[in-house]
A and B are shown apart, each in its own frame.
Chain A
Amino acid sequence: MSPTVVVLTALGYLFLLFVVAYLVEHDQTRASRLTRSSWVYTLSLAAYCSSWTFNGGIGRASQHGLDFLPIYLGPTLTFCLGSVLIRKILRVSRANRITSIADLIAARFGKSTGLAALVTVIAVIGMIPYIALQLKSISGGLAMMIASHPVAGPASIPVLADGALWAAIVLTIFAMLFGSRSIHPREHHPGMVVAVALESILKLVALTAVGLFVVYGLFTGFGDLFARASAATNLGALFEFSGTSRSIDWIAMTLLAMAAIVCLPRQFQVMVVENVDERHLDRALWAFPLYLLLINFLVLPIALAGRLFLTAGANPDSIVLAVPLAASQPVLALVAFLGGLSASASMVVVEATALSLMVCNDVVMPALLRWRGLRLEQKQDLTRLLLWIRRSAMVGLMALGYLYMRQDSEKYALVSIGLMSFVAIAQFAPAIVAGLFWRSATKAGAVVGISAGFIMWVYTMVLPSFAQSGAIGLDFIHDGLFGFPLLRPQALFGLSGLDPVTHGVFWTLLANIGCLIGVSSLTSQGPIERAQAALFVDAFRYNDAAQIWRRTAPLPDLVSLVARFLGRERAVAAFRSAGTAPGENATTERADAEMVLFGERLLAGVVGAASARVLVSAVVEEEPLGVEEVMRILDETSRVIEANRRLEEKSRALEAATAELKEANSRLRVLDRLKDDFVATVNHELRTPLTSIRTFSEILRDHPDLPLAERREFLGIVVGETERLTRLINELLDLSKIEAAGLPPSLPPVDLGEVLRECAAAMGKVFAANKVDLTLNLGDQPAWVSGDRDRLVQVGVNLLGNAAKFSAPVGGEVTVSLGGDAESVELSVADNGPGVAPADREIVFERFRQVGDTLTGKPKGAGLGLAICKRIVAQHGGRIWVEGEAGSGAVFKVLLRRVSGTVEAEAAE
Chain B
Amino acid sequence: MPHAVKRRDRLIGLFVAGAVLLNPPILTLFSGGSVLGWPSLFVYLFGVWALLIAGLAIVLERRPEIRNDSDKGGLP
Distance to closest chain A CB from B44 (angstroms): 10
How close is B13's CB to chain A, nearest CB, in angstroms? 9
Residues of the A chain whose Cβ atoms lie less than 8 Å from the Cβ of B14: 80
Question: By the criterion CB–CB under 8 Å, are A79 and B56 in contact?
Answer: yes
Report how far A282 CA is from B73 CA in the complex, Å.
Answer: 12
Residues on the A chain within 8 Å of B28, using CB: 241-242, 247
Say if the beta carbon of A749 comes within 8 Å of chain B.
Answer: no
- Are the CB atoms of B37 and A222 closer together than 8 Å? yes
- In the assembled complex, the Cα of A226 lies from the Cα of B37 at a distance in Å of 7
Contacts known (A77-B15, A250-B24); A66 close to B42, Cβ less than 8 A: yes
**B76, chain A: closest CB distance, angstroms:** 6
Q: How far is it, in angstroms, between the C-alpha of A286 and the C-alpha of B8 when the chains are bound?
A: 14
B27: nearest chain-A partner, CB-CB: A241
Bound: A87/B71 CA distance, A: 11
A residues 291-318 near B (Cβ < 8 Å) are 293, 297, 300
- Using Cβ atoms and an 8 Å threshold, which residues of chain A touch B23? 250-251, 254
> Which of these, A227, A236, A282, contacts B61 with CB under 8 Å?
A282
Q: Is A83 an interface residue (CB 8 A)?
A: yes
Secondary structure call for the A interface: helix
B2 within 8 A of A: no
B34 touches A226 (CB 8 A): yes
A83 to B59, CA, bound (A): 11
Q: Is the CB of B56 within 8 A of A285?
A: yes
Q: A77-B22, A226-B39, A250-B24 are in contact. Are A541 and B75 (CB under 8 A)?
A: yes
Q: Tell me, rounded to whole Å, the shortest Cβ–Cβ distance linking A467 to chain B.
A: 31
Q: Which A residues lie within 8 Å of B71 (CB)?
A: 278-279
Q: Which of B24, B32, B56 contacts A239 (CB 8 A)?
A: B32
Q: Are A293 and B50 in contact (CB under 8 A)?
A: yes
Q: Which of B25, B45, B76 contacts A66 (CB 8 A)?
A: B45
Chain B residues within an 8 Å CB radius of A76: 18, 49, 52-53
A81 closest partner in B (C-beta): B15
Q: Are B74 and A541 in contact, with the CB atoms below 8 A?
A: yes
Instruction: Determine the distance from Cα of A863 to Cα of B30 in the docked complex, in whole angstroms.
Output: 111
Nearest-CB residue, chain B, relative to A297: B46
Alpha-carbon distance A287/B56, docked complex (angstroms): 9
Interface status of A289 (Cβ within 8 A of chain B): yes
Please tell me if B66 contacts chain A, counting CB pairs below 8 Å: no
A742 to B55, CA, bound (A): 87
Q: Return chain A residues, CB-CB under 8 Å to B33.
A: 239
Q: Which residues of B contact A240 (CB under 8 A)?
A: 31-32, 41
A439 to chain B, nearest CB (A): 16
Q: Which residues of B contact A79 (CB under 8 A)?
A: 56
Chain A residues numbered 48-89 whose CB sits less than 8 Å from any CB in chain B: 65-66, 69, 73, 76-77, 79-84, 87
Compute how far the CA of A488 lies from the CA of B22 in the bound complex, rounded to whole angstroms.
33
A84 to B59, CA, bound (A): 14
Shortest beta-carbon distance from A82 to chain B in Å: 8
A493 at the interface (CB under 8 A from B): no
In the assembled complex, the Cα of A87 lies from the Cα of B19 at a distance in Å of 20
CB-based nearest A residue for B23:
A251
Q: Is the CB of A241 within 8 A of B31?
A: yes
B76 to chain A: which residues have CB within 8 Å? 541
The distance from the CB of B63 to the nearest CB of chain A, in whole angstroms, is 9
In the complex, what's the smallest C-beta–C-beta distance from A702 to chain B, in angstroms?
94
Residue in contact with B24 in the complex, picked from A77, A84, A241, A293, CB distance below 8 Å: A241
Contact check, B22 vs A282: say whether CB atoms are below 8 A apart: no
Q: Which of A227-273 contact B (CB under 8 A)?
A: 227, 230, 236, 239-242, 246-247, 250-251, 254
CA distance A83 to B45 in the complex (A): 24
Which chain A residues border B37 with CB–CB below 8 Å? 222-223, 226-227
- The reply to whether B8 and A84 form a contact with Cβ atoms under 8 Å apart is yes
Give Cα distance in the complex from A91 to B53, angstroms: 24
Contact A247 B25 (CB under 8 A): yes
Of the residues A69, A239, A282, A286, contact of B53 by C-beta under 8 Å: A286
- A691 at interface by CB-CB < 8 Å: no
Chain B residues, CB < 8 A from A678: none
B73: min CB distance to chain A, Å: 5
Determine which of B27, B31, B42, B70 lies in contact with A282 in the assembled complex, contact meaning CB atoms within 8 Å: B70
Please tell me if the beta carbons of B24 and A83 are within 8 angstroms of each other in the complex.
no
Given contacts A66-B45, A286-B61, contact A226 B24 (CB under 8 A): no
Nearest CB on A from B36, distance (A): 7
B36 and A223 within 8 A (CB): yes
Q: Are A87 and B60 in contact (CB under 8 A)?
A: no
Q: Counting chain A CB atoms within 10 Å of each CB, which of B15, B40, B61 scores highest?
A: B15
Asked if A484 is at the interface (CB within 8 A of a chain B CB), the reply is no
B69 CB to closest chain A CB, in angstroms?
11
Kindly list chain A residues whose C-beta atoms are within 8 Å of the C-beta of B22.
73, 77, 254
Contact, CB under 8 Å: B18 / A83: no
Cβ contacts under 8 Å, B32 to chain A? 236, 239-240
With contact pairs A76-B18, A76-B49 given, residues A239 and B75 touching in the complex (Cβ less than 8 Å): no
Q: Return chain B residues, CB-CB under 8 Å to A227.
A: 37
Q: Which residue in A84, A246, A541 is a CB contact (below 8 Å) of B11?
A: A84
Bound together, the chains give a CA A227 to CA B28 distance in angstroms of: 21
Q: Give, as a whole number of angstroms, the nearest-CB distance from B25 to chain A.
A: 7
Contacts of A543 in B (CB 8 A): 73, 75
**Known contacts A81-B12, A81-B15, A289-B53: does B31 contact A242 (CB below 8 Å)?**
yes
A66 to B15 alpha-carbon distance, docked (Å): 21
A388 at the interface (CB under 8 A from B): no
Cα A297 to Cα B38 with chains together (Å): 13
A82 to B70, alpha carbons, bound, how many Å?
Answer: 14
Bound state CA distance, A742 and B33, in angstroms? 111
In the assembled complex, the Cα of A73 lies from the Cα of B18 at a distance in Å of 9
Within 8 A of B (CB), among A788-845: none
Taking a contact as CB atoms under 8 Å apart, the answer to whether A239 and B39 are in contact is: yes
Docked complex Cα distance between A241 and B76 (Å): 48
A540 adjacent to B46 (CB under 8 Å) = no
Least Cβ–Cβ distance between A297 and chain B, in angstroms: 6
With A76-B53, A80-B12, A286-B53 already in contact, the answer to whether A66 and B73 are too (CB < 8 A) is no
The interface residues of chain A lying within 8 Å CB-to-CB of B46 are 293, 297
B60 A290 Cβ-Cβ under 8 A: no
Residues of B within 8 A of A370 (CB): none
CB of A645 closer than 8 Å to a CB of B: no
Cα distance A250–B23 when bound, in Å?
7
Partner of B75, one of A82, A297, A540: A540
Within the complex, the shortest CB–CB distance from B57 to chain A, in Å, comes to 4
For B70, list chain A residues within 8 Å (CB): 279, 282
Considering the chains assembled together, what is the distance between the CA atoms of A251 and B40 in angstroms?
20
User: Cα distance A227–B34 when bound, in Å?
Assistant: 10
- Residues on B with beta carbons closer than 8 Å to the beta carbon of A84: 8, 11-12
A239-B60 in contact given A247-B25, A247-B28, A286-B53 (Cβ < 8 Å): no
- B contact residues around A239 at 8 Å (CB): 31-34, 39-42
In the complex, residue of chain A having the shortest beta-carbon distance to the beta carbon of B22: A73
- Give the distance to chain A from B24, nearest Cβ to Cβ, in Å: 4
User: Which chain A residue has the least Cβ–Cβ distance from B71?
Assistant: A279
Inter-subunit contact B19/A77 (CB<8 Å): yes
Q: Report which of B12, B30, B36, B38 forms a contact with A241, defined as CB distance below 8 A.
A: B30
A860 within 8 A of B: no
User: Which residues from A are CB-within-8-Å of B25?
Assistant: 247
Assuming the A-B contacts A223-B38, A300-B42, are A251 and B11 also in contact, with contact meaning beta carbons closer than 8 angstroms in the complex? no
Query: A residues near B, CB below 8 A?
Result: 65-66, 69, 73, 76-77, 79-84, 87, 91, 222-223, 226-227, 230, 236, 239-242, 246-247, 250-251, 254, 278-279, 282-283, 285-287, 289-290, 293, 297, 300, 540-541, 543
Complex A-B, nearest 3 residue pairs according to Cβ-Cβ distance, in ascending order: A540-B74, A247-B24, A80-B15
Which residues of B line the A interface, CB within 8 A?
7-8, 11-12, 14-15, 18-19, 22-25, 27-28, 30-34, 36-42, 45-46, 49-50, 52-53, 56-57, 60-61, 70-71, 73-76
Q: A223-B36, A239-B39, A285-B56 are in contact. List 10 more A-B contacts (CB 8 A).
A: A73-B22, A76-B52, A80-B52, A80-B56, A223-B37, A226-B38, A247-B24, A254-B22, A254-B23, A290-B53
A-B contact pairs, 8 of them (CB 8 A): A81-B12, A226-B34, A226-B37, A226-B39, A282-B60, A286-B57, A289-B56, A543-B75
